[in-house]
Amino acid sequence: MSERSDLRYGGFTTLFYKEVLRFWKVASQTVAAPVLTALLYLLIFSHVLEGHVQVHGVAYTAFLIPGLVMMSVLQNAFSNSSSSLIQSKVTGNIVFVLLPPISYMEFFAAYVAASVVRGLVVGTGVLFATFWFAPLTFVEPIWILVFAVMGGAILGSLGVIAGIWADKFDQLAAFQNFLIMPLTFLSGVFYSINSLPPFWQKLSHWNPVFYMIDGFRHGFFGISDASPWLSLAVVGGCLVLLATFTLNLLKRGYKLRN
């Protein structure tokens, strides 16, 4: 019996399509809700601080918007891969992905790419919902795109690790609440790290999410706490390290093929 094949289809393409379709089918929960959350942050913080604070000569609300956009990109990229994997593992339907001839590279690429797409969709939504509140500039858009994609890919990879590692939803919640949330909230989304005491400034430089947000914000205003090239090097290095680690887990079949 002959197998009809079509080069347009394959493990990566289909898994990527399935992952995007999965979050799109529940867009009110996966897209609209985080956009609303970011909008509420903006309304509250800008109400309190606008007129009192300027950062690098930029009005506070304008400074805050890129930070909120990037935070949404990162958090949603993490949520996409991690929640999809844990749901599939707990319900058992992960077998549908493990039985076909999908390589570990395709598996990784599809989950991470879909996470990046969700991050970008939510980030774009946040940008559209918030840019009415302050005049924004797009000085170097290439940095915006580069850091959004790379940041999304890093958090997407972390989501794959968390989704594979966690056996229960509460383990995944712990990963999210005790690692992802502190890293994103303490990364300069709401402030410039130059305004922090020296100790916290130094500590912030060990947080890779700071470089993602700082580099991303540089694309809007052309001003940042660190050089965008340094941020690119740190973010790129983190991506390579995390991707290598995740691929190794998948290649060994850690918690998936045992």
Partner 1 sequence: MSPAIRIEQVSKRFGSTRALDNVDLEIEQGEFFGLLGPNGAGKTTLISALAGLVRVDTGNLSVMGYDVQSDYRAARRHLGVVPQELVFDPFFSVRESLKIQSGYFGIGDNDDWIDEILENLGLASRAGANMRMLSGGMKRRVLVAQALVHRPPVIVLDEPTAGVDVELRQTLWQFIKRLNEAGHTIVLTTHYLEEAENLCNRIAMLKDGRVVALDTTKQLLRRFSAHALRLRTGGVMPKELTSEATESGGWWSIPFNSFDEIEPLLVKIRTAGCEIDSLEIGKPDLEEVFIRVMQGAHHE
Using CB under 8 A as the criterion, which residues of the chain lie in contact with partner 1 when the complex forms?
A: 1, 3-11, 13-15, 17-18, 21-22, 25-26, 88, 91-93, 95-103, 253, 257-258
Q: How far is the CB of 164 from partner 1 (least distance, A)?
A: 15
How many secondary structure helices (H) and strands (E) does the chain include? 12, 2
CA 248, CA 32: separation in Å to the nearest integer? 35
Nearer to partner 1, 14 or 201 (CB): 14
Nearer to partner 1, 18 or 205 (CB): 18
Tokens coding 161: 């690790």
Q: How far is the CB of 27 from partner 1 (least distance, A)?
A: 12
Q: How far is the CB of 201 from partner 1 (least distance, A)?
A: 44
Nearer to partner 1, 79 or 130 (CB): 79
Nearer to partner 1, 84 or 224 (CB): 84
Dihedral, 128, 133, 139, 144 alpha carbons, nearest 10: -40
> Looking at the chain, which runs of residues are DSSP E strands?
54-55, 58-59
237 to 71, 75, 105, 120, 180: CA distances (angstroms): 20, 20, 19, 21, 18
Q: How far is the CB of 185 from partner 1 (least distance, A)?
A: 30
